[in-house]
A and B are shown apart, each in its own frame.
Chain A
């Protein structure tokens, strides 16, 4: 089991770095092209969440990857104000409520998602993607 930890500045220009690193790790593990795309979206959504919603007074947040035999476990942790995951409303296509897409997308694309958020101390989103045994043609 290998573990990789990145500390990223809370600046939008570095979210692409999270996508680049997860693509590299996932490619090495043998994930399909489609799964690599899904992983890029999931990590990007979690990083965007850390930047947008955490009101992070800190200048950095952490991203860790744990490479296991048949799965990739990755966590985005910020030290912001936290939020109530159950209170995130579903987005509304009429434009009245545009937030909430990020968490919805992460849950749709990943095999397991755990959100731990504590008011005043931050949010941690852990996502798991299993290495599929079927191969794309």
Chain B
């Protein structure tokens, strides 16, 4: 997983999540989002356009990070997740607690 493209625009942070999130890459993913939670950003947008795979390890950390960011008054938004990832977000109910948006540019 590669997430080093972080763009801050005002109070919104955009993190580009690339590759695969599984038991191997999970700590890097967690660290990159936790870093954003520590900032003043009110919105953290995860650009998932180039995220090819995520499983329950990623879902668990997403829930954990969403709860942490909520306490800080922030929102986590997933942008453009691929159909295979959307399916798991729906299956696990994570799509009910994390906002998912499709960017029309994609």
Interface of A toward B, CB cutoff 8 Å: 12-13, 15-16, 19, 34, 37, 40-41, 44-45, 47-48, 51-52, 91, 93-95, 98-99, 101-102, 104-105, 108-109
Interface pair B24/A13, CB less than 8 Å apart: yes
- For residue B26, give the distance in angstroms from its CB to the closest CB of chain A: 8
Contact check, A41 vs B24: say whether CB atoms are below 8 A apart. no
| Closest residue on chain A to residue B97 by CB atoms | A93
- A12 to B64, alpha carbons, bound, how many Å? 21
Identify which of B7-15, B50-58, B73-81 touches chain A.
B50-58
Nearest first, the 10 A-B pairs at minimum CB distance are A101-B56, A12-B24, A37-B84, A98-B60, A95-B67, A12-B23, A102-B56, A48-B23, A13-B24, A44-B55
Give the interface SS of chain A, mostly helix, strand, loop or mixed.
Answer: helix
Q: Which B residues lie at the A interface, using CB under 8 A?
A: 20, 22-24, 53, 55-57, 59-60, 63-64, 67, 83-84, 87-88, 91-94, 96-97
Residues of A within 8 A of B96 (CB): 93
Question: With A16-B24, A37-B84 as given contacts, are A95 and B91 in contact (CB-CB < 8 Å)?
Answer: no
* Residues of chain B contacted by A40 (CB below 8 angstroms): 53
Complex CA distance for A44 and B26, rounded to whole angstroms: 13
Q: Which residues of chain B have C-beta atoms less than 8 A from A45's C-beta?
A: 55-56
B63 partner, pick from A41, A44, A95, beta carbons under 8 A: A95
Note all chain B residues with C-beta closer than 8 A to A52.
Answer: 23
Q: How far, in Å, is B50 (CB) from chain A's closest CB?
A: 16
Contact B84 A12 (CB under 8 A): no
Q: By the criterion CB–CB under 8 Å, are A101 and B23 in contact?
A: no
Q: How far is the CA of A19 from the CA of B64 in the complex (A)?
A: 25
Nearest opposing residue in chain B for A33, CB measure: B84
